Structure 1
């Protein structure tokens, strides 16, 4: 199932690279190298292999790569927006640390526009209402953040009679903050997509 989902992501990623000439040229320095990404809370392992001009994605079995990254999905989502978080205590790195630093530098200059890639696959007609729906959903989450946090807290205290310890509470709040940051980023991308659609109509 995961391999089926990875294929369109691989296509979109390489398509975006072709339009980012600088990042595409720099990709050559990673030729014949590989990264294994273990998403710990989902029990999923992904293998990314580099060629001279593209990135290949596949599921990872017992593969050992030049660089191995272990983190939960929240930390990896944060990494997409904040390359500096690669060397945080939320992410475990094994293997070639110099390779990791080179990847971090490369990622900081590579802007992967998810919304533009969505429009390429779905077409402008579907991309616009989908982007609008995503924006409304993220706006709702952002606007109701305090109420959401309070409701969850009341449920944990009164309904389930379960009181989380301090570390669990802090982790939950960090994830909420991450969701808020992702919301703001997606909103900015949606605005860019809307501007692109308006220019093409």
Structure 2
């Protein structure tokens, strides 16, 4: 195995464990998953990633080919949707997800990170001090609210466009009537053309 995939995987592993250790509630979630192993085959990556969980954190590997409790083939964008059981059937039917093994394990590993509850302002204060951390936290919350508001506005706009477009589009009966009228008009034109040719002849 080359160092090219190994370096980013090691960085992701270090970052993941760093974040997990900052949340006191992660210890219990890790304990429940102790000894579990799952393998991801992500469409965007040229290699598979094996995730091994123990009480101390997670280990990532791109060269592990031993047995796992669950193997998942999907895309990166689909991973957050795995937390909701209701999404699994839909994703499988849409050929966006293939699971071999325990599907609950995949949900638990995704939930391990999605359920993180870290006081980032307090963590930042340890590095830059209380006052800068407070202002940076305030700026982050304000920016997040602005992004959320903008996203909601975009959703409303798209919904409005689709609703208006639906009103403008002809219903099936109107389209069928238009097609019938067009065929009748074409037949009339053809009859007139024949009559003109007969008169000339």
Q: Pick the structure with greater CA Rg.
A: 2
State TM-score, norm by structure 1: 0.50
